[in-house]
């Protein structure tokens, strides 16, 4: 199923011809549509801490799961895929400690299906930048749902439409004190975007890799469980790492189920990097290098030593706009503008999160991309 998906992924991209790619006009945008906050109490039992959120978003989560199932059944009309996933993934649900949570919703097995989806269909842009006073900014666009049902009438992808109402900011607390914050989708238990205020900021981007990309996930489903889900590693780091160095160490050295990029920012000048991971090894750590003029690092979904796929170049326009902004003028609003520039902003973009570690600023905004806008 998953390989089938990657083939479609490539063909869809190659089949669409763009006439408007080569030029980038850096955008200026007003920030609006803030995302609501929920507090998650880490002192209460795992199956209780999500109650409020899930009861508020129950209808939306159920709608999304139904939409995903319909899409899966379009690819595999027999319904066999869902059956297989239900059968094998009960174990996963138990492992994730969310059984009781989803029993409330009567959807245990399906939920896992939906959690796996996030690990596979996410494309994003993330960056860490340092201003001339040494302040560190970290921001990301989350683009989700590639090729999952293009709605010709509405000119939009089906899945992001379902995800926008599920997008929430979470404040994870112990003893009534914030441990970390994250932008999340209700019902998803991994972390793609988060910050430990005052300490570090972290985002994860998917890394497509033909050899070994999804083998780990398939092995995991079939029972060989010695690696970490990528967005579980980020969650564990956000919850338990207490410094930039410790976070970096865990992100570079933990065995995972699939390749990924981790974008990590610390709280001191020069602490910012993109970690390129294969399942078992760290392939590259690209760090800020202020002495040599590198005041930002930026990652989309391609290795930095390779060219991006020519039909999906979000890297060059984002860098061009950062270069035009200059280090002197960099700020969260300026970064928001960079992330609002098409095609960095596209039809898949669900949210933009802006973080500033030292002040603890954490803001997220729902996005959509008015026409004319490219599908990814
Ligand atoms: C947290 O705050 C609530 C009320 O704001 C209080 O009832 C509770 O005892 C506090 N918990 C801890 C662990 O301090
Ligand atoms: C963080 O550490 C605590 C204590 O070691 C552990 O119980 C918890 O599961 C860890 N959290 C994650 C998300 O790994
Ligand atoms: C930066 O992080 C370190 C832990 O790596 C912490 O000890 C220190 O207090 C933090 N600095 C600030 C200014 O918050
Ligand atoms: C941005 O600036 C850097 C450093 O000067 C340069 O290496 C890079 O090619 C520039 N990128 C774009 C897209 O302008």
Domains of the chain: 1-366 (3.60.60.10)
Looking at 111-120, 127-136, 224-233, 240-249, which range is the least confident one? Answer: 111-120
On the question of pLDDT at 51 being above 90, the answer is no
**Both tokens assigned to 37:** 């906050």
CA dihedral 262, 193, 148, 24 (to 10 degrees): -80
Question: What mean pLDDT is predicted for residues 335-343?
Answer: 93
pLDDT value of position 274: 97
Please tell me the distance from the alpha carbon of residue 66 to that of residue 373, in angstroms, as a whole number. Answer: 27
Q: Which of 309, 308, 318, 306 is nearest to 346 (CA)?
A: 318
Closest C-alpha residue for ligand 1 atom 6: 176
Q: For residue 44, which ligand has an atom nearest its CA? A: 1
Please tell me the distance from the alpha carbon of residue 275 to that of residue 270, in angstroms, as a whole number. Answer: 15
What confidence tier does 258 reach under pLDDT thresholds 50, 70, 90? confident
Mean of the per-residue pLDDT values of the chain: 80
- Active-site annotation holds for 124: yes
On the question of pLDDT at 94 being above 50, the answer is no
The answer, yes or no, to whether any atom of ligand 1 lies below 6 A from the CB of 177, is no
**Both tokens assigned to 352:** 């933009």
Atom of ligand 3 at shortest range from CA of 245: 5
Regarding predicted confidence, which is higher, 26 or 281?
281
The answer, yes or no, to whether any atom of ligand 1 lies below 6 A from the CB of 32, is no
**Both tokens assigned to 195:** 């910050």
Within 6 Å (CB) of ligand 2, which residues are found? 235-236, 239-240
Atom of ligand 1 at shortest range from CA of 176: 1
pLDDT value of position 105: 45
DSSP designation for 347: T
**Both tokens assigned to 260:** 């990924």
Q: What is the pTM of this model?
A: 0.85
Regarding predicted confidence, which is higher, 102 or 42?
42
pLDDT value of position 146: 54
Residue 294, CA distances (Å) to 117, 130, 237, 268, 283 in order:
35, 9, 26, 15, 20
Atom of ligand 4 at shortest range from CA of 319: 13
pLDDT value of position 313: 83
96-143 pLDDT, tens digit per residue, is: 444 444 444 444 445 555 566 666 666 789 999 999 999 999 999 998
**Both tokens assigned to 13:** 């991209």
Please tell me the distance from the alpha carbon of residue 7 to that of residue 20, in angstroms, as a whole number. Answer: 25
pLDDT value of position 266: 97
Ligand 3 mean position, distance from CA 200 (Å) = 9
Catalytic residue among 26, 124, 321, 369: 124
Ligand 3 mean position, distance from CA 333 (Å) = 25
């Amino acid at each position: 199923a998953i390989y089938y998906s990657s083939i479609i992924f490539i063909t869809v991209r190659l089949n669409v011809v763009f006439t408007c790619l080569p030029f980038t006009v850096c955008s200026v945008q007003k920030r609006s549509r803030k995302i609501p906050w929920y507090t998650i109490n880490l002192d209460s039992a795992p199956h209780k801490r999500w109650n409020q959120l899930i009861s508020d978003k129950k209808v939306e989560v159920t709608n999304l799961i139904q939409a995903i199932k319909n899409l899966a059944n379009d690819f595999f009309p027999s319904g066999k895929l869902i059956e297989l996933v239900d059968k094998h993934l009960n174990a996963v649900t138990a492992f994730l400690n969310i059984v009781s949570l989803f029993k409330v919703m009567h959807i245990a097995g399906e939920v896992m299906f939906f959690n796996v989806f996030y690990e596979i269909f996410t494309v994003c842009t993330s960056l860490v930048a340092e201003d001339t006073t040494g302040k560190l900014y970290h921001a990301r666009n989350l683009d989700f749902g590639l090729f999952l049902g293009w709605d010709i009438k509405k000119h939009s992808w089906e899945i992001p439409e379902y995800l926008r109402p599920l997008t929430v900011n979470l404040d994870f607390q112990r003893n009534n004190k914030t441990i970390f914050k994250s932008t999340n989708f209700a019902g998803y238990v991994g972390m793609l975007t988060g910050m430990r205020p005052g300490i570090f900021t972290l985002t994860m981007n998917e890394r497509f890799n033909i050899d070994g990309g999804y083998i780990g996930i398939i092995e995991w489903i079939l029972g060989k469980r010695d690696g970490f889900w990528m967005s579980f590693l980020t969650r564990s780091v956000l919850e338990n790492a207490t410094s930039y160095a410790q976070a970096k160490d865990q992100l570079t050295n933990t065995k995972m189920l699939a390749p990924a990029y981790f974008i990590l920012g610390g709280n001191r000048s020069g602490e910012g990097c993109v970690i390129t991971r294969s399942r078992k090894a760290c392939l590259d750590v690209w760090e800020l290098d202020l002495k040599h003029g590198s005041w930002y690092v930026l990652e989309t979904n391609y290795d930095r030593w390779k060219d991006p796929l020519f039909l999906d170049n979000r890297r060059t326009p984002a860098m061009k706009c950062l270069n035009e902004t200059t280090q002197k003028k960099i700020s969260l609003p300026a970064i928001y503008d960079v992330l609002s520039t098409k095609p960095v902003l596209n039809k898949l973009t669900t949210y933009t999160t802006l973080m500033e570690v030292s002040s603890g600023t954490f803001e997220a905004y729902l996005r959509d991309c008015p026409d004319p806008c490219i599908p990814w």
